[in-house]
Structure 1
Amino acid sequence: MNLKKSGSVVNMQKMRDLNDKPLSKKDYLVVSSLLFGLFFGAGNLIFPIHLGQLAGSHWGWATVGFLLTAVLLPLLSVLAISVTRAEGVYDIGKPLGSVFALTFMVLIHATIGPLFGTPRTATVPFTVGVQPLLPASWGSAGLLIFTALFFGFAFFISYRESNIMASIGKILNPLFLLLLFGIFLLAFSSPLGKAASATVSVAYQHDSFFNGFLQGYNTMDALAGLAFGVTVVSAVRQLGKTTPSSNAKVTARAGLLATSAIGLIYIVLIWIGATSLTVYKLSDNGGVAFNQLVTYYLGGFGHALLATLLTVTCLATAVGLVAAFAQDFHKHFAKISYRVWLGLMCLASFITANFGLDTIIAWSTPMLMFLYPFAMVLILLSVCSPLFKRDPHVYAFVVAFTVLPAFLDMIAAFPPVVSQSAFGKAAAALQHSFLPFAALGMDWVVPALLGTILGLGYHVFAPFFSSVKATASYKRQDEKSR
């Protein structure tokens, strides 16, 4: 009896939080600030402004579409981590087997990591904020030096995992918010023009909602939300919330606060982009538009402020990306230490960044068009998984029906060297002939819904048919025994 009693006490202690007291508002703000800093990076500044310029007076509907994929979906990705009690993107794909989960994890981390996302955190602040301050002949050398220093700082901050919360949540992020608030104050006090009368680009005259929806892919936040899971869970554990249930609640509440703040900033940025058309022409990208905005209000000093603003927010995001990459890869490839993975990630990102921002953006879009449908269905399945007991068959049907449209979307999004080739044209013809909403880039929706119906049908009726089959088999065996 004493042994049993002792064992039960040990089990109760294991199931208790190290900190069994409710977290303070300050604690929630720190975790929310961490999430905000991890999510809000280079693309989160430049893409909303460019969307506002493209949508013009139709910026309202474009904003709604953008918020679905750039705010709601990242929030759902955090909730998916909470609901499934996962610690990273691997756990989200695990119902489909370890091979799929590992492949999905590698693709996500490669996309938001050394191939596209992390290099972009360095090239955007350089191209938009620093390069205009340098002589034209210093472009390549300046980028080399800037990215070396940038990823050197990212490595230093992430070297000790316990420093991530303090570095992002308490230092870098408040500084960024202070700088951004100053620019917003100037924009509201003296608007460049009226958004309601701004020119609408051709693509946004009829499909502003869907175009805004697709523009949200460029932030990569839904993918980042899955990958940041391990970083956020580790940070919450440092506050003493060590049991899965309490850790999940803290993560979900902090995620709601962080993504709400991001959504408000997006709305302002999109509105500013639309108002800027009164003074400036449609720019090639949001970085140029943001540079024009700051220069309009602050002149030469605005360039220095912009460089600081972008560098601070992008460094915060880079820290989260390289840390999440190193933590996840060390967990699944344990022979290589966290710090070695961290160094490899920073080195690879530094190399890719020196190909330049235009090249990175051009080749990242196809991968996003391929991965986002998978990410969206897996996030929604994870959030709803308690309803079907996380049945792998439901996952399998939905993902299987998503593969072809996602692949065709990727081919169509490649630069002309691929999309306009004979293979690319044949893929486009197949896509537009057989898949609804292909012209809107939403051709995965109907197949995914069909897969959901079939998967849930299998989940509901398979046990019944198995029972009938087992009963029939038992009767045959009973008849033979007689």
Structure 2
Amino acid sequence: MEEIEQDVNTKPLTWKQYLVVASLLFGLFFGAGNLIFPIHLGQLSGANWGIATFGFLVTAVLLPLLAVLAISASHAKGVYDIGRPLGNIFALVFMVLIHLTLGPLFATPRTASISFSVGLQPVLPKSAAKPALLIFSAIFFILAFIISYKQSTILTSIGKILNPLFLLLLFSIFLLAAISPMGAAKNQSVTAAYQSAPFFNGFLEGYNTMDALAGLAFGYTIVSAVRQLGKTSAKSNAKVTARAGVIATSAIGIIYIGLIWVGATTLNHFKISAEGGTVFNQIVTYYLGNFGHALLATLVTLTCLTTAVGLIAAFAQDFHRSFNKISYHGWLTIMTLVSFITANFGLDTIIAWSTPMLMFLYPIAMVLIILSISSSLFDRDPIVYFWGIVFTFIPAILDMVASFPAVISQKPWALQLRSIQSRFLPFADIGMDWVIPAVIGLAIGFIIHFYKKAKIN
């Protein structure tokens, strides 16, 4: 059994080894959305950036850490195991939806499209944008495929090479912004949404990073990397993963605070952009001119490439375990090709269609993460999972419909659902209408579980 398996390496890991694993986690988590969405949040929240930051950190830092801990605590080997208490069909569907979202439909194509739109598109004529994106995304995904091809090279490639380069580039920007800020963040204007509910809007903005979903998907990759260091028993593997996760997510949280603050200081100079990529380019160009733009292109490409590598590898690993007629390298090839095709639809289209899926998946993922971490309290009883997810599922579906682009959300039937949602579900106007139903469902599940347990005893 895995629980009683002895470690190949019985010695405690050194701080250097912990930092290598943390660096892997950092590189896998921090990518495209992690650059543009915090800056965008800073612009939207203005003087209320501090309160909005707390909300953002819950879903963009704390929740991803809890996702990694859920994998460790439940000894899961992937997304599938997290959903398995609800049955194999649910587990399979949940795994497929998570990986399609993180994979070829949204997150992975976004890594290439953001790299292009922030780094190269501003210096190209509009007529050259589409063919240039085609060439850029082809090169981008070829590199990601090569790095991902041998699973044993992922730790070295990401943790030891790309991350230090990325950190050097990023903190050079922070240093310049601190020495000569563009304005006082506390004096900036605040958009309407962030005047009334800055915390909850920051909370929802954190969905866009997709890191909680990524934490579930990356779990097996991290566990495998720790096993390479000789920590092969379930208990010690989980302990190492948890400690490295705290280091990595703490570093990411510090960077988020810096990015949000920088975004809030820009409002005296730049208009609020549709997404943070545009203003990030404006910030760096403001401080460093043409050299700054080249620096930004390098920065964004490196961070996005590290994320793409992790997403592609995790997708291939989980799908090979569930659909093993196709090899790991076969799934790797499929993932890379489909992501390349989707990336060429453009960044705006990808973001517009990813939001509904996130509004549906995030509440369900949050409930599953909490249940996985606390499963020892209720003996991993499927009845608790069932009632918690059933009550979360309905408002999550309604939030998904309401957040679709107008081609769907403005249909008469969708508007009717929105009216019902607003009338009967508290907090629907801020996208938090799933919370009370989830608590009720979990309470029902716990009551049934402990009633059955007391009856048996």
Write the distance in 2 (CA, Å) between the matches of 1:57 and 1:170: 38
- With structure 1 as the length reference, what TM-score do the two structures score? 0.94
Determine if contact 2:32/2:303 at 8 Å carries over to the other structure: yes
Structure 2 residue corresponding to 1:228, chosen from 196, 210, 218: 218
Report the residue type matching 2:35 in the other structure: L
**Match of 1:426?**
416
How many angstroms does 1:466 deviate by? 5.4
Larger displacement relative to structure 2 (115-124 or 131-140)? 131-140
Write the distance in 1 (CA, Å) between the matches of 2:326 and 2:48: 51
Write the distance in 2 (CA, Å) between the matches of 1:320 and 1:282: 31
* 1:313-354 alpha-carbon deviations (Å, 9 max, x no partner): 000000000000000011111111000100000000000000
**Match of 1:477?**
none
Report the residue type matching 1:354 in the other structure: N
Determine if contact 2:3/2:233 at 8 Å carries over to the other structure: no
Determine if contact 1:119/1:349 at 8 Å carries over to the other structure: yes
Determine if contact 2:166/2:299 at 8 Å carries over to the other structure: yes
The residue matched to 1:408 in structure 2 has which SS?
helix
* 1:356-405 alpha-carbon deviations (Å, 9 max, x no partner): 00000000000000000000000011111111111111000100101110
Report the residue type matching 1:325 in the other structure: F
How many angstroms does 1:133 deviate by? 2.3
* 1:179-215 alpha-carbon deviations (Å, 9 max, x no partner): 0010000000110100010010111111111100000
**After superposition, where does 1:145-294 map in structure 2 within 5 Å?**
145-294=135-284
Structure 2 residue corresponding to 1:117, chosen from 107, 110, 127: 107
Determine if contact 1:194/1:278 at 8 Å carries over to the other structure: no
- With structure 2 as the length reference, what TM-score do the two structures score? 0.99
How many angstroms does 1:131 deviate by? 1.1
How many angstroms does 1:430 deviate by? 1.0
Structure 2 residue corresponding to 1:342, chosen from 332, 340, 343: 332
Distance 1:149 1:180, change over 3 A: same
Q: Does 1:106 align with 2:96?
A: yes
How many angstroms does 1:221 deviate by? 0.1
The residue matched to 2:240 in structure 1 has which SS?
helix
Write the distance in 1 (CA, Å) between the matches of 2:295 and 2:366: 36
Structure 2 residue corresponding to 1:92, chosen from 82, 86, 109: 82
Determine if contact 2:3/2:235 at 8 Å carries over to the other structure: no
Q: Does 1:413 align with 2:403?
A: yes
Q: Does 1:48 align with 2:38?
A: yes
How many angstroms does 1:302 deviate by? 1.0
How many angstroms does 1:272 deviate by? 0.4
Write the distance in 1 (CA, Å) between the matches of 2:380 and 2:86: 10
- Structure 1 unaligned blocks of 5 or more: 1-10, 468-482
Write the distance in 2 (CA, Å) between the matches of 1:26 and 1:445: 41
Structure 1 residue corresponding to 2:64, chosen from 70, 74, 77: 74
**Match of 1:306?**
296
Determine if contact 1:408/1:431 at 8 Å carries over to the other structure: yes
**After superposition, where does 1:289-368 map in structure 2 within 5 Å?**
289-368=279-358
Q: Does 1:435 align with 2:428?
A: no
How many angstroms does 1:298 deviate by? 0.5
Write the distance in 1 (CA, Å) between the matches of 2:254 and 2:3: 42
Write the distance in 1 (CA, Å) between the matches of 2:106 and 2:167: 25
Determine if contact 1:34/1:168 at 8 Å carries over to the other structure: yes
> What percentage of aligned pairs have identical amino acids?
67
Question: Computing the radius of gyration over CA atoms, which structure comes out larger, 1 or 2?
Answer: 1
Report the residue type matching 2:335 in the other structure: M
Determine if contact 2:47/2:188 at 8 Å carries over to the other structure: yes
How many angstroms does 1:283 deviate by? 1.5
RMSD: 1.2
**Match of 1:399?**
389
Q: Does 1:388 align with 2:388?
A: no
Determine if contact 2:3/2:234 at 8 Å carries over to the other structure: no
Distance 1:12 1:65, change over 3 A: closer
The residue matched to 2:151 in structure 1 has which SS?
coil
Report the residue type matching 1:355 in the other structure: F
Report the residue type matching 2:215 in the other structure: G
The residue matched to 1:205 in structure 2 has which SS?
helix
Write the distance in 2 (CA, Å) between the matches of 1:293 and 1:44: 16
**Match of 1:7?**
none
Write the distance in 1 (CA, Å) between the matches of 2:110 and 2:403: 19
How many angstroms does 1:303 deviate by? 1.1
Write the distance in 1 (CA, Å) between the matches of 2:380 and 2:197: 36
The residue matched to 1:228 in structure 2 has which SS?
helix
Report the residue type matching 1:172 in the other structure: L
Write the distance in 1 (CA, Å) between the matches of 2:157 and 2:348: 30
How many angstroms does 1:135 deviate by? 2.7
Write the distance in 1 (CA, Å) between the matches of 2:125 and 2:291: 17
The residue matched to 2:273 in structure 1 has which SS?
coil
Write the distance in 1 (CA, Å) between the matches of 2:398 and 2:3: 52
How many angstroms does 1:16 deviate by? 1.1
Determine if contact 1:373/1:406 at 8 Å carries over to the other structure: yes
Determine if contact 1:120/1:357 at 8 Å carries over to the other structure: yes
**Match of 1:60?**
50
Write the distance in 2 (CA, Å) between the matches of 1:408 and 1:422: 14
Determine if contact 1:398/1:448 at 8 Å carries over to the other structure: yes
How many angstroms does 1:464 deviate by? 3.3
How many angstroms does 1:13 deviate by? 12
Write the distance in 2 (CA, Å) between the matches of 1:261 and 1:456: 36
